[in-house]
Structure 1
Amino acid sequence: MFLEVFAIVLALGLLMFFAYRGFPVIVFAPIFTLLAVLISGKALMPSYTEVYMVNAANYIKTYFPVFLLGAIFGKAMELSGAASSIAHTIVKSLGSKRAMLAVVLACAVLTYGGVSLFVVAFAVYPFAAAIFREGNIPKRLIPGTIALGAFTFTMDALPGTPQIQNIIPTAYFGTDSYAAPVIGIIGGVIIFAAGLYWLERRRKQAELAGEGYGDNHKNEPESAGEAKYPNIWLSILPLVLVLVFNFLLSRGALTANTWYGEELLKSFNIANVKNVSSIWALIIALSIGIIAALCINVRRVQGKLAAGLTAGAMGALLAIFNTASEVGFGNVVKTLPGFKAIQDWIQSMNGAPLLSEAVSVNLLAGITGSASGGLSIALEVMGKTYLSAADALGISPEVLHRIASMASGGMDTLPHNGAVITLLAITGLTHRQSYKDIFAITVIKTVTVLAIAAVLSIFL
């Protein structure tokens, strides 16, 4: 059994190392998958074509519309100037004395409104750099500040967020994006407060040490304060429309659950409409948001739309194929003998499905360096087990949804995470300069969700 477990650990370690070094996951995930299969003594080609590729394709089939429309919506907000207008208004309103709070809120508003994490980083960075420079706050603290606002509580904790990490559990638990709102809000508030406390503490330490913004930095943005931006209320409108229509189509009067009859759904092999209605709702909400974002500043968008749509589509393709590669990897791994030992260890927390779920999702998200990839693998492998265990204990599937979603955004931000690498590249900083604060935010997020899962396990 040692050799079988070693095969999985070796393959995961190599995938993590090569991803950290910048090699494409699309290429190396299948290579290391087959390495694990070979060491485990299983059939190579059937594992690749009938397990790896089938599960990767199923993931793309299910979530490609969300990735594509999310990327296009973010691009539309960027092209129209709406994203920059929102960031500029929040940052300037709070001023340099509350620079960190301003940046966190700017990221949070955009992320919760449906703008992709990568677009948020690009949109907010120029204003973050300007206000940090004005407040003489070390530039090295910018990545951690953006990470708190964009990669944590608005990504997967707050109910209704249209980010993919909050949508994936709906397909496994028959829930919607507003599942367990109280738990999500409590978790979000704790993460926000603890994260901001850490960042402010780091700022004060730097101030006492006489450290300021610094000189000779890379990728310093041009001044962002002189540009003309769309009206702030028009800029917010697309975000509001996404949130409103997502709610109306998920839980409101227009709920997608009632659109089609049972017989029609069966003809499309849809056993439970709740497993797909959340994705339908988000597809329509994002489409409405895209149209609104393009219409608020038509003159600025003209001439850039074709290139912008192409860039958004290419970004969506890269993101979903990277994630699908990791999902394929995980689904092959779950068929190997060594995984049974790992699975037994995770599920050894008898009577505590919430804690077991939080651990497994966090662990797999950390290993793959992807919140959505780790979440999909964990729920694909053990989702039915958690659902059965929770049902026996009288725990709502909504609670399972929220814990799984929040856990995915914990250890996913290890050094090999694509969003972390991109964020550092945008800001012109290195892991050595700024990763300590990103990791601190990661630990806060992880501890919070594990603590909530433990408390719920005791009282539910």
Structure 2
Amino acid sequence: MPMSTATLFTGLAGMLASLALLVWLAYRGWSVLLLAPVCAMLAAFVSGEPVLAHWTQTFMASTGRFLAQFFPLFLLGSLFGKLMEDSGSVDAVAQLMIDKLGTRHALVAVVMGGALVTYGGVSLFVAFFVLAPMAQALFRSADLPRRLMPATIMLGTATFTMSALPGTPALQNAIPMPFFGTTPFAAPGLGVIASGVMAGFGLWWLGRAAAAAKQNGEGFVEPLDGGADYEARGKSALVRERASVAQTFDPAEIDSGGRAPEAAGYGVAPPSAFVALAPLVVVVAMNFAMNVVVFPRLDAAYLAQPRWGATTLSAVAGVWGVSVALAVGIVVLVALNRARLGALRESMDAGANAAVLPVLSVGSLVGYGAVIAALPAFEAVRDWVLGIGGGPLVSLAVATNLLAGLTGSASGGLTIALDALGGTYMQLAAQHHIDPALLHRVAVMSSGTLDSLPHNGAVVTLLAVCGSTHRESYRDLVIVSIAGALIALAVVIVLGSLFGCF
């Protein structure tokens, strides 16, 4: 029975009010663990839906499915990043870029250092805390404005290595795999082209900004606190709550565990470039091997049995591949750096603990989205999204962009969009002869654009760690992380529409 106009209006008003409340209170530092269920139940109540049923049967069921699917990636990714940090390997990779490129190419050195560690599986926030002091030293030597540091670090860590480079172990690249039956290497050619666009455009802008600053006599200015305590800057309660919905690592755990022994007086030399890079290479290589070599030859018909969830290999292979890659990377990392990990158990405990708040926070956002998608008035929203001109790729990009921007979370916005519309887009893909791998790449890239709005946890954390403010640094950050990503997304949609997936 069709809804009356009054019922539709009331339902839409409830959805918008709950979303506005969620965004506003999250921006003010309230925990998403509390906000998401409260705002979801508010929308259900206004829509005249059974509140308690949505609480236990919709919200919690969807949150539970997200945890069941993706907690292994949160856990292993967080653990890998923490061990890379505590062994001194992230520092060694960043120092390698500094040694090879030097002060003359300070911007490129910071971008390349961030790209290497994040493409190799190191958590975004671990990279922030390691790269910031090194970037500051480089910028000081090159006399570059410190206000450009956040944009430079963001370009290397949270743009092309997060959403475009094929095979990236970033969570965002794993989320579409169960929905579309794809792998982390979906649309590799388009991903490489998009990465080149993002990196090239971002470096062009940063070089232009640095040249303009030099012409105006603007150079490096020391932060008020001297730049000594990067960790203290990033551990406030406000930063922690926002950061936890944006990535897979809880900043509160950044100083837990055992630091690199050379800094703690053990007299063990820092890792060489080979030792530091080896675990990163292993993660990428194992990810490729599992998804391209092993799984296509694996007989997994048993997965169709009810005891295994009546699923298929294509629905789980992507998560399996990244999980195995990270697990093997951890083993190699520990084997090569055992002497440097003076407090291995503490480091592993801290890495595991750092995964808990982020996965629950993002899972709560997913539960919120599931309740919204289950409300009768959402059908009007679905029809509007699917009716956007330009075809399924454009409407998928718009929907994911909006949800990632509103929630301030690439992973949360992407999961909500695919939970609500993933099946519909698979049907549209079949009708329009669109390769699901192209849907995968467009969806992932769309999640990494408007998510960098001012309330995004990665943005807030990075500015705090760099000792900067939105007023000083956000303009350049927008250009490299949003404008560049949107240009690359447009290129992928045009090329994909003209030539298909490659």
TM-score of the superposed pair, with normalisation by structure 1 = 0.95
Alpha-carbon deviation of 1:298? 1.7
1:165 matches 2:172: yes
1:450 matches 2:490: yes
Conserved? CA contact 1:411–1:443, under 8 Å: no
1:229 matches 2:236: no
Alpha-carbon deviation of 1:448? 2.4
Conserved? CA contact 1:37–1:44, under 8 Å: yes
Residue in structure 2 matching 1:117, options 118, 124, 132: 124
Alpha-carbon deviation of 1:71? 0.4
Alpha-carbon deviation of 1:26? 1.0
Residue in structure 1 matching 2:373, options 308, 330, 334: 334
Q: RMSD of the TM alignment (CA)?
A: 2.0
Residue in structure 2 matching 1:97, options 89, 93, 104: 104
Conserved? CA contact 1:352–1:457, under 8 Å: no
User: CA distance change for structure 1 residues 332 and 454 in 2, over 3 Å: closer, same or farther?
Assistant: farther
Question: For residues 251-400 of structure 1, what are the structure 2 equivalents within 5 Å?
Answer: 251-252=292-293, 255-263=294-302, 265-266=304-305, 267-302=307-342, 304-349=343-388, 352-400=391-439
Name the structure 2 match of 1:439.
Answer: 478
Name the structure 2 match of 1:134.
Answer: 141
Cα distance in structure 2, aligned partners of 1:342 and 1:324: 22
Kindly provide the amino acid, as one letter, of the partner of residue 328 in structure 2. I
The percentage of aligned residue pairs carrying the same residue is 40
Cα distance in structure 2, aligned partners of 1:149 and 1:230: 22
1:398-430: CA deviations, max 9, x gaps? 111111111111111111211112112211222
SS of residue in 2 equivalent to 1:296: helix
Residue in structure 1 matching 2:290, options 236, 246, 249: 249
Conserved? CA contact 1:91–1:128, under 8 Å: no
Cα distance in structure 2, aligned partners of 1:453 and 1:219: 45
1:238-267: CA deviations, max 9, x gaps? 011111111111002xx2354444135424
Cα distance in structure 2, aligned partners of 1:89 and 1:10: 50
Cα distance in structure 2, aligned partners of 1:175 and 1:393: 18
Kindly provide the amino acid, as one letter, of the partner of residue 413 in structure 1. S
Kindly provide the amino acid, as one letter, of the partner of residue 32 in structure 2. V
Question: Once structures 1 and 2 are overlaid, which stretch shifts more, 146-155 or 255-264?
Answer: 255-264
Conserved? CA contact 1:246–1:281, under 8 Å: yes
SS of residue in 2 equivalent to 1:29: helix
Conserved? CA contact 2:300–2:313, under 8 Å: no
Kindly provide the amino acid, as one letter, of the partner of residue 329 in structure 1. Y
- The count of residues paired between Structure 1 and Structure 2 equals 456
SS of residue in 2 equivalent to 1:300: coil
Cα distance in structure 1, aligned partners of 2:344 and 2:325: 20
Conserved? CA contact 1:90–1:106, under 8 Å: yes
SS of residue in 1 equivalent to 2:214: helix
1:111-152: CA deviations, max 9, x gaps? 110111111111211110100011111111111111111111
Name the structure 1 match of 2:184.
Answer: 177
1:53 matches 2:43: no
Conserved? CA contact 2:303–2:313, under 8 Å: no
Name the structure 2 match of 1:239.
Answer: 280
User: CA distance change for structure 1 residues 291 and 37 in 2, over 3 Å: closer, same or farther?
Assistant: same
Alpha-carbon deviation of 1:95? 1.2
1:423-445: CA deviations, max 9, x gaps? 12211222222222222221221
Conserved? CA contact 1:67–1:316, under 8 Å: yes
1:324-376: CA deviations, max 9, x gaps? 01101111111123322222111003671111111111111111111111111
TM-score of the superposed pair, with normalisation by structure 2 = 0.87
5+ residue gaps, structure 2: 1-7, 231-259, 264-268
Alpha-carbon deviation of 1:457? 3.2
